[in-house]
Homo-oligomer: A and B are copies of this chain.
Amino acid sequence: MGAVKNKRMPRAVREQQMLDAAVRTFGQRGYRAASMDEIADLAGVSKPLVYLYLNSKEDLFTACIRREAKALTDAVRAGVRPGIPADRQLWEGLRAFFTHTAENPDGWAVLHLQARTHGEPFAAEVLAMREELVVFVTQLIVVAAREAHRDPSLPEREVAGLAEALVGAAESLAAWANAAPGISAKQAAATLMNFAWSGLGNMMEGRPWSPPPQD
């Protein structure tokens, strides 16, 4: 069972142990199916202590989401060197993203699967993090357009949609790469770059795909 039992430890340490146990349990069982009993057990403490430090199941789940969201955005940001060309920045960001999700499958499950499937307190929490990533990608697209000497006036709504699609594709690929054995973070990133950047590049050259007129 989790940590060594009954040892007195400073609050900060205990809290992290609890969050570790909670992320693992929530990630594997889901919010409702995870029981405070199991979490406390896995953390090696009694239930009242969990309540003393984290207040309630809801608060505990929220704390998990926040911690994991921050860890993910931090990882992405830390993986990107500023000042290099936009496509390289995206490449680095994607690699960091896929690496982090592969190394923290439970945390990723909490963010991608569990937090979104349960009502309003939680979905908003994830949305905030997601927005950060979307903004990051959006800026890269805008910068890339500028670097390509293109008229920078790609309609904003269009850019938003593209960024959304890219982030969405990344999220799906992360789940896919975690599930399919033998897909490395690098491979996942390369696949997505091929898929996305070539398309985006194409568009920026002024050759978007266009729907048939009668539609």
Contacts and interface: CB of A to CB of B under 8 A. Distances in A.
A91 interface: yes
A190 interface: yes
Interface of A: 29-33, 87-88, 91, 95, 113-114, 116-119, 158, 161-162, 164-169, 171-173, 175-176, 183, 186-188, 190-203, 207-209, 211-212, 215
Copies in the complex: 4
Contacts of A87: 209
A118 B33 contact: yes
A22 to B, nearest CB: 16
29 contacts: A30-B30, A30-B31, A30-B32, A31-B32, A32-B32, A91-B212, A91-B215, A114-B117, A161-B176, A162-B195, A164-B173, A165-B195, A168-B172, A168-B175, A168-B176, A186-B211, A186-B215, A194-B199, A194-B203, A194-B208, A195-B196, A196-B199, A198-B200, A198-B203, A198-B208, A199-B199, A201-B202, A201-B209, A202-B202
Contact of A209 (B95, B167, B175, B198): B198
Query: Which residue of A30, A171, A173, A193 has the most chain B CB atoms within 10 A of its CB atom?
Result: A30
A99 to B, nearest CB: 12
